[in-house]
């Protein structure tokens, strides 16, 4: 049995071993158990139902919520020589008629279908064909508790009744306990086998930058992108206008970028998405609307231009990087103004308390001075025994100092203005800036005016963020964002308690903020310690391989990552196969791809080696 599974894995997908839980899940499905699979994005869920579909007799029916997701899956399978089809409203009637015929003839191993279509086909097609299994992808859509609730999904509860003997497999990357139970109940799963894999994505590095000004942020982003020359990434922005402004600026710096948000025409959005998938643009500046429909495996980095509203959203969004298992770099920008705005949104939302709490947890993550991955995993109910060594806190542990005097200066300035000022004015008072509002209100006569002149503006911002998170003052969001000292703040102010602050570290990027970024920096720093390169890879060869992949992709009108994943391409670049036997050994090369692409790649490598 084990042999057969491994053979199927190698033959069709070109992989040599299963990832954790995959084999157990496949075995459970083959035993016709109803099965619930929880795995993080990029964890390898698809193979869990695709291998049973290939081994079992009949057609596997896969319910998927989005046409773009279906398209991606079907392209991927067909690129491995597997008979997969999608039945949905984007096909014309002739295509669908043909497709039905193929299903009836038993020629389709995997049939992707939208939930509406599934219901309408129940009395027809689905009655007439032999079904091996049902897979419900993105199964959290069935639950009102999940974040992508889709009413059509709730009608899937009739499957169990109509098909008592066919196993149902539900798969999702995001489901808390309530959602999980909801999925089981709503699908009427019987004695379900539940598999929950670790949600850790060790290949994603984590970093946070606090309190940067707009121009500093921009500088940091240009610097970051320069390190990721030719590597695709997403920048998530809070507002549509930011995503557009940022896109313009990037374009002016010669970076191929596009904006993506709900305010754009459907066509424009589609184009941005297609261009990104097909490596025609490098960067998408998007609002949260982007990503649900794409399975692009070679997104190499994700930046959050603003703080996300919850850890769930954050984790899902960074999860779009590094799905192929290669390093993905992530960076989160975090500022006081984000908090002020997001708190306002949360306060005005329906589930006010819940949303405030979620935002607070997100804020704690951003302010963390312990391993960030431990915080994330802990949030999702997993505990890590050790630090991750792939987040900025681990790599650069914070140093603390006794910041009592600093805190007292700030709090005293707040007190002396009768708690009427916001952060901006507070910093101006501390720094002794002759700004209009300061002068007009006579704040320049205060005893605290200028007492914090020795501390740069940026450092003050970071200290104030720390003070906010330590609970020394609050921001009255409903009163013009004025600052109010809390009880614990008062204790520090009156010398009854000491305050420990984290030393502000200045990266080179901040000092250079006014200068133009140097564009050529060393390649992605992403963790040679975690992912050591086995053999030195030749950059020139890699670029040639990449170009060949693009050519092959364009010829077939499919995205490059579907021809071969980035990981596979790197493996070819390091192992430099010169024969078909060597080529076949590479992870990710199944029989179909060996036949289809082997010759072209080998020829390129032979030529390259001769030079």
Per DSSP bridges, beta strands 84-87 and 131-136 are: unpaired
Contact 310, 359 (CB under 8 A): yes
Return the exposure string of 217-249: e unless at least 16 CB atoms fall within 10 Å of the residue's CB, then b: bbbbbbbbbbbbeebbbbbbbbebebbbbbbee
- Does residue 424 touch ligand ADP according to CB under 6 A? no
Nearest approach in angstroms of CB 159 to ligand ADP is: 21
The values of phi and psi at residue 320, to 5°, are -75, -10
Give the footprint of ligand ADP on residues 47-66 (CB under 6 A). Answer: 47
371 binds, among ligand ADP, Zn ion, none (CB under 5 to 8 A by kind): Zn ion
- Does residue 565 touch ligand ADP according to CB under 6 A? yes
Q: Which of 9, 501 has the CB closer to ligand ADP?
A: 9
- Does residue 218 touch Zn ion according to CB under 5 A? no
- Does residue 570 touch ligand ADP according to CB under 6 A? no
- Does residue 39 touch ligand ADP according to CB under 6 A? yes
User: Among 8, 26, 42, 569, which residue interacts with ligand ADP (rule: CB under 6 A)?
Assistant: 42
Hunting for tokens 């306060």 — which residue is that? 347
Nearest approach in angstroms of CB 365 to Zn ion is: 12
Q: Which of 71, 409 has the CB closer to ligand ADP?
A: 71
How many residues belong to the site for ligand ADP (CB under 6 A)? 18
Q: Six-digit token pair at 248?
A: 């313009």
**Residue of 403, 564, 429, 420 whose CA lies nearest to 482:** 420
- Does residue 321 touch Zn ion according to CB under 5 A? no
Q: Six-digit token pair at 376?
A: 């994330």
- Does residue 563 touch ligand ADP according to CB under 6 A? no
Per DSSP bridges, beta strands 400-402 and 473-476 are: unpaired
- Does residue 408 touch ligand ADP according to CB under 6 A? no
Residue 247 CB contacts under 8 Å (≥ 6 apart), including other chains: 257, 258, 259, 283, 285
- Does residue 590 touch ligand ADP according to CB under 6 A? no
138 binds, among Zn ion, ligand ADP, none (CB under 5 to 8 A by kind): none
Q: Please choose, out of 39-47, 99-107, 274-282, 446-454, the segment that lies near ligand ADP by the rule CB under 6 A.
A: 39-47
Q: For the window 238-277, what string marks contact with ligand ADP as x by the rule CB under 6 A?
A: ----------------------------------------
Q: Which of 211, 327 has the CB closer to ligand ADP?
A: 327
47 binds, among Zn ion, ligand ADP, none (CB under 5 to 8 A by kind): ligand ADP
The values of phi and psi at residue 205, to 5°, are -85, 155
Q: For the window 338-377, what string marks contact with Zn ion as x by the rule CB under 5 A?
A: ---------------------------------x-x----
Return the exposure string of 42-59: e unless at least 16 CB atoms fall within 10 Å of the residue's CB, then b: bbbbbbbbbbbbbebebb
Nearest approach in angstroms of CB 44 to ligand ADP is: 3
The values of phi and psi at residue 505, to 5°, are -100, 135
Q: Which of 240, 567 has the CB closer to ligand ADP?
A: 567
Quickly list H helices, 333-486.
336-348, 352-366, 372-379, 392-395, 404-416, 423-431, 436-440, 457-470
Nearest approach in angstroms of CB 396 to Zn ion is: 10
Q: Which of 297, 390 has the CB closer to ligand ADP?
A: 297
Q: Please choose, out of 12-20, 112-120, 386-394, 462-470, the segment that lies near Zn ion by the rule CB under 5 A.
A: 386-394
Hunting for tokens 């649900």 — which residue is that? 292
Q: Could you give the C-alpha distances from 520 to 226, 227, 251, 280, 508, in angstroms and in order? A: 6, 7, 17, 21, 15
Distance, CA of 140 to CA of 181 (rounded, Å): 10
User: Among 45, 219, 240, 309, which residue interacts with ligand ADP (rule: CB under 6 A)?
Assistant: 45
Nearest approach in angstroms of CB 141 to ligand ADP is: 15
Q: Six-digit token pair at 579?
A: 């024969």
**CA quadruple 169, 170, 172, 178: dihedral sign:** negative
- Does residue 72 touch ligand ADP according to CB under 6 A? no
Give the footprint of ligand ADP on residues 297-356 (CB under 6 A). Answer: 297, 323-325
User: Among 8, 28, 35, 41, which residue interacts with ligand ADP (rule: CB under 6 A)?
Assistant: 41
Distance, CA of 342 to CA of 356 (rounded, Å): 9
Per DSSP bridges, beta strands 35-38 and 110-113 are: unpaired
In a 3-state reduction of DSSP, which class is residue 417?
A: coil
How many residues belong to the site for Zn ion (CB under 5 A)? 6
- Does residue 388 touch Zn ion according to CB under 5 A? yes
User: Among 133, 238, 394, 470, which residue interacts with Zn ion (rule: CB under 5 A)?
Assistant: 394
Report which secondary-structure segment, H or E, holds 214: helix 214-227
Q: Six-digit token pair at 385?
A: 């025994």
Binding site for ligand ADP (CB under 6 A): 15, 18-19, 22, 39, 41-47, 295, 297, 323-325, 565
Q: Where on the chain is the footprint of Zn ion (CB under 5 A)?
A: 371, 373, 387-388, 391, 394
């Amino acid at each position: 049995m084990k042999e057969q599974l491994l053979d199927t894995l190698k033959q069709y997908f070109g992989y040599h071993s299963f990832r954790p839980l995959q084999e157990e899940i496949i075995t459970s499905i083959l035993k016709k158990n109803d099965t619930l699979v929880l795995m993080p994005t990029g964890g390898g869920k698809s193979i869990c139902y695709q291998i049973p579909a290939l081994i079992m007799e009949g057609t596997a029916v896969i319910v998927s919520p989005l046409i773009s997701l279906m398209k991606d899956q079907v392209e991927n399978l067909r690129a491995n020589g597997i008979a997969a089809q999608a039945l949905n409203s984007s096909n014309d009637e002739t295509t669908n008629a043909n497709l039905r015929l193929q299903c009836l003839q038993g020629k389709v191993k995997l049939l992707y279908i939208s939930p509406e279509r599934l219901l309408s086909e129940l009395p027809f097609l689905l009655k007439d064909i032999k079904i091996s299994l049902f897979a419900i992808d993105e199964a959290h859509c069935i639950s009102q508790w999940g974040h992508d609730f889709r009413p059509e999904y709730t009608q899937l509860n009739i499957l169990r009744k109509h098909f008592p003997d066919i196993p149902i497999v539900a798969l999702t990357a995001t489901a808390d306990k309530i959602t999980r139970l909801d999925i089981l109940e709503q699908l009427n799963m019987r004695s379900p086998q539940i598999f929950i894999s670790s949600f850790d994505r060790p290949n994603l590095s984590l970093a946070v930058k606090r309190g940067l000004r707009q121009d500093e942020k921009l500088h940091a982003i240009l610097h970051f992108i320069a390190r990721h020359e030719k590597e695709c990434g997403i920048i998530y922005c809070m507002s549509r206008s930011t995503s557009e402004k940022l896109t313009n600026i990037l374009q002016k710096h010669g970076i191929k970028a596009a904006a993506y948000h709900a305010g754009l025409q459907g066509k424009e959005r589609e184009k941005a998405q297609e261009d990104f998938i097909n490596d025609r643009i490098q960067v998408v500046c998007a609002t949260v609307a982007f990503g649900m429909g794409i399975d692009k495996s070679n997104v190499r980095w994700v930046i959050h231009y603003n703080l996300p509203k919850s850890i769930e959203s954050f984790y899902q969004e960074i999860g779009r990087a590094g799905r192929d298992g290669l390093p993905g770099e992530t960076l989160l920008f975090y500022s006081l103004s984000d908090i002020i705005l997001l708190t306002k949104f949360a306060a005005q939302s329906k589930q006010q308390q819940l949303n405030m709490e979620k935002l607070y947890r997100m804020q704690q993550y951003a302010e963390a001075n312990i391993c960030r991955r431990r915080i994330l995993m802990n949030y999702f109910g997993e505990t890590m025994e050790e630090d991750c060594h792939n987040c900025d806190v681990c790599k650069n542990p914070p140093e603390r100092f006794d910041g009592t005097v600093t805190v007292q200066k700030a709090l005293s300035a707040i007190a002396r203005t009768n708690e009427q000022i916001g952060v901006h004015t507070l910093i101006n008072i501390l720094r002794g800036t002759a700004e209009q509002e300061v002068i007009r209100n006579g704040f320049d006569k205060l005893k605290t005016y200028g007492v914090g002149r020795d501390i740069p503006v940026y450092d003050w911002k970071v200290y104030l963020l720390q003070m906010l998170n330590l609970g020394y003052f609050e921001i009255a969001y409903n009163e013009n964002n004025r600052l109010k000292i809390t009880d614990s703040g008062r204790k520090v102010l009156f010398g009854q308690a000491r305050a420990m602050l984290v030393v502000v570290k200045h990266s080179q990027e901040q000092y250079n903020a006014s200068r133009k970024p140097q564009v050529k920096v060393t390649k992605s720093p992403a963790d040679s310690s975690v992912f050591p390169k086995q053999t030195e890879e030749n950059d020139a060869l890699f670029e040639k391989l990449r170009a060949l992949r693009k050519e092959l992709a364009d010829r077939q009108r499919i995205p490059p990552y579907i021809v071969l994943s980035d990981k596979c391409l790197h493996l070819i670049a390091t192992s430099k196969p010169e024969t078909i036997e060597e080529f076949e050994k590479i992870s990710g090369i199944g029989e179909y791809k060996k036949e289809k692409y082997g010759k072209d790649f080998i020829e390129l490598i032979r030529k390259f080696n001769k030079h």
